[in-house]
A and B are shown apart, each in its own frame.
Chain A
Amino acid sequence: MDATISFLAAAIVAGTPLLFATLGEIITEKVGNLNLGVEGMMLMGAIIGFKTALVTHSPIIALLTSMLAGAAGALIYAVLTVSFRANQVVTGLTLTTFGTGFAGFLGQNLVGQVVPATVKSFFRPFAFPGLSKIPVLGEIFFQQDIFVYLSYLSVFIVGVYLYKTSFGLNVRAVGENPGAADVASINTTFYKYFHILLGGALCGLGGAYLSLVYIPVWQNNVTAGRGWIAVALVIFAIWNPYKAVIGSYLFGGLDIIGFRIQDTSFPVSMYFLDMLPYIVTVVILVVISFRKSKENAPPQGLGNPYFREER
């Protein structure tokens, strides 16, 4: 029992960077933009957050700058795809190349450096007052670090924002049919910019969780493909922030299972387990398109640029 609880608690830790990035990509896709630069933005957030922590020894400033870094990457993407109407797929892939180069460039001389002790202790797990007393669930969910609690809060805020506010309604309108949203006098350009940037900031936070908490020693390519898993998770969660929680922890769990079964006689190779997130994503996409259910479909305007002049 204790082993199971500790495993599940670890799955949450492993899933947290995925959760931030997935939330960010959900928001981005909800306004109709497919940003394949998640990996790049995560790396930008990871390196800037790490560097800030080294220089300032302040965890709060590190979090803020990592968000800014992610948002800065997203800004490049937004300018190109929204204002300059460039192809979203190509721009997103380029952002990943750029972000990888950016982190490698700045991180060149930091490889092997450790997060300062003040920052480390700030992110130490602690029992959340009250809630950690809940049997089993409290031990799994509320014996975590403050960054994980921040991710719970983010899910809640994004969920309420998208489904319970008029802004959220507008967001979905822009993503489904920007032409109609424009006619309804929603400022589509502003909505796209704002949410692409917000999405980038969340990806930056996901990256910072990796470099500050999960692997608190700088190493090149610290994200190791997690950005792509986040892109997959958006579909797994069918663009729903609450379902993103389940997906992130599930894939987080798979991530650590791989290591744990290496030295057991478990009959399945870890490489097949590693494939699972991607296979599941493919299956879900096929099933969604096959059932043609409107509710679970991607935002209709996803990937298409919107030009008022060509409406």
Chain B
Amino acid sequence: MFRMQKRGEMPKTKIVAIRILAIILALVAAAFIILLLKLNPVDVYIAMVKGAFGSVYRVKEVIIKTIPLVVTSLGIAIAFKMQFWNIGGEGQICMGAFLASYVALNYPDLPKPLLISIMILASIIGGGLWATVPAYFKAKWRTNETIITLMMNYIALKWIQYLQYGPWKDPKAMGFPKIPHFTDNAILPDLFGVHIGWVFALVLTVLIYIFLNYTKKGFEIAVLGESENTAAYAGINIKRTIITAIFLSGGLCGLTGMIQASALHNTLSVEVSGGVGFTAIITTWLSALKPFVIVIVSLLFAALVQGGSFIQTAFGIPQAAAQLLQGMILFFVLGSEFFIRYKLVWNKSFQSISKKE
């Protein structure tokens, strides 16, 4: 038999090679499913690439889908760096969007720059506070944050549903359950044909990179993630670090909510999060929590979704196929991580060494 041994650092090129191999294997595995539909997998894959990047309009669509993934993933990366399993992105997006919408709907006549600034601030507070609840319990009683953040997603979602079907329902919509549209002042402007969220995403990527790698707080978060004992020994205020980091994490998710509500939907609705909170967990993990890699992985994911909806119309393949493919790629990449961290050693050689001794 064989046994497993931890590897030392692997050269970066080899790590990338292993990941790419995993994705290729996933595509090969998915090809069998496509063959079952009596279609040529190569044709389908080429169509997916075309569907994602084949025209200016499609590239714009991909970028629009990339923006929320990047901003949310950055937020989640901060939490994961601290080994705080924030899977509450969905809820934090909802609550950020909620507070931003509150401002947009109640003060529609403020000048645009002012209104948008307040909305941004409100969304960060909304998402941040929503995330602070589990952070507080974690800091105080070590309450398991995974489940609480997960449960709070659904509480937030039901809250938005309540608003949409109840007190915030547009009286002019003739009974249709929708919240009134924002005024123009509350809608993010475009820059080069795509809403300005892409600038936010890029600036934030740089900022979070600097924060995590070159600031004291970022360093404290990393130390706390490695070992709580080391952190305590180094004199880090553990409770305060947890709460600050998670406020920031939730705040970024909340900002995503504002961007989506303002630029994409032009109002608040139950679709504001649209699964971004969950997908971002996966993109964050695949990016090994590295901000610049997050941008690339998010772009690829957005392209996968966009390409997936294209093959639906082009080949009549169910849209769920994109989800299926997403899942398969992830399974293979998750499996490949093992070969990055460990190597298999045949016990035969192990025995011969021990015999010599």
Assess whether A97 is in contact with B5, with CB atoms less than 8 Å apart: no
CB nearest neighbor in A for B138: A289
Chain A, 59-103, CB within 8 A of any chain B CB = 76, 79-80, 83-87, 89-91, 93-103
Assess whether B323 is in contact with A97, with CB atoms less than 8 Å apart: yes
Assess whether A84 is in contact with B334, with CB atoms less than 8 Å apart: yes
Number of interface residues of B (CB under 8 A): 50
Q: Which residues of B contact A282 (CB under 8 A)?
A: 148, 151-152, 155
Assess whether A232 is in contact with B151, with CB atoms less than 8 Å apart: yes
Of A83, A84, A278, chain B has the most CB atoms within 10 Å of the CB of A278
Chain A, 266-310, CB within 8 A of any chain B CB = 269, 271-272, 274-275, 278-279, 281-282, 285-286, 288-290, 292, 298, 303, 307, 309-310
B229 within 8 A of A: no
Assess whether A271 is in contact with B4, with CB atoms less than 8 Å apart: no
Assess whether A310 is in contact with B144, with CB atoms less than 8 Å apart: no
B331 within 8 A of A: yes
A86 to B: closest C-beta gap in Å: 4
B347 within 8 A of A: no
Binds A, one of B62-70, B122-130, B200-208, B277-285: B277-285
Q: Which residues of B contact A288 (CB under 8 A)?
A: 143
B317 to A: closest C-beta gap in Å: 8
A222 to B: closest C-beta gap in Å: 13
Q: Which residues of A contact B320 (CB under 8 A)?
A: 100-105, 108
> When chains A and B are docked, how far (Å) is the Cα of A297 from the Cα of B90?
27
CB nearest neighbor in B for A234: B147
A27 to B: closest C-beta gap in Å: 17
A51 to B: closest C-beta gap in Å: 14
Residue in A80, A225, A290 whose CB lies within 8 Å of B154 = A225
Q: Which residues of A contact B3 (CB under 8 A)?
A: 309
Residue in A36, A80, A290 whose CB lies within 8 Å of B334 = A80
Assess whether B331 is in contact with A94, with CB atoms less than 8 Å apart: yes
> When chains A and B are docked, how far (Å) is the Cα of A231 from the Cα of B324?
22
Residues 62-90 of B, flagged 1 when their CB comes within 8 A of A and 0 if not, give 00000000000000000000000101000
Of A76, A91, A282, A289, chain B has the most CB atoms within 10 Å of the CB of A282
CB nearest neighbor in A for B324: A101
Assess whether B321 is in contact with A105, with CB atoms less than 8 Å apart: yes
Assess whether B137 is in contact with A289, with CB atoms less than 8 Å apart: yes
Q: Which residues of A contact B321 (CB under 8 A)?
A: 101, 105
B171 within 8 A of A: no
Assess whether A281 is in contact with B151, with CB atoms less than 8 Å apart: yes
B355 within 8 A of A: no
Residue in B162, B279, B318 whose CB lies within 8 Å of A271 = B162
Q: Which residues of B contact A307 (CB under 8 A)?
A: 4
> When chains A and B are docked, how far (Å) is the Cα of A4 from the Cα of B246?
46
Q: Which residues of A contact B137 (CB under 8 A)?
A: 285-286, 289
B166 to A: closest C-beta gap in Å: 6
Assess whether A101 is in contact with B87, with CB atoms less than 8 Å apart: no
A228 within 8 A of B: yes
A203 within 8 A of B: no
Given known contacts A85-B338, A286-B141, is B159 in contact with A97 (CB within 8 Å)?
Answer: no
CB nearest neighbor in B for A95: B327
Instruction: For the complex of A and B, list the 4 residue pairs with the smallest distance between their C-beta atoms, beginning with the closest.
Output: A104-B320, A98-B327, A101-B323, A101-B324
- The interface of chain B, by Cβ under 8 A from chain A, is 3-6, 33, 85, 87, 137, 141-144, 146-148, 150-152, 154-155, 158-159, 161-162, 165-166, 278-279, 281-282, 285, 318-328, 330-331, 334-335, 337-338, 341-342
20 contacts between A and B (CB under 8 A): A36-B87, A84-B337, A86-B338, A93-B87, A93-B278, A96-B278, A97-B278, A98-B326, A101-B323, A101-B327, A105-B324, A228-B154, A235-B147, A272-B162, A282-B151, A285-B144, A286-B141, A289-B141, A289-B142, A298-B144
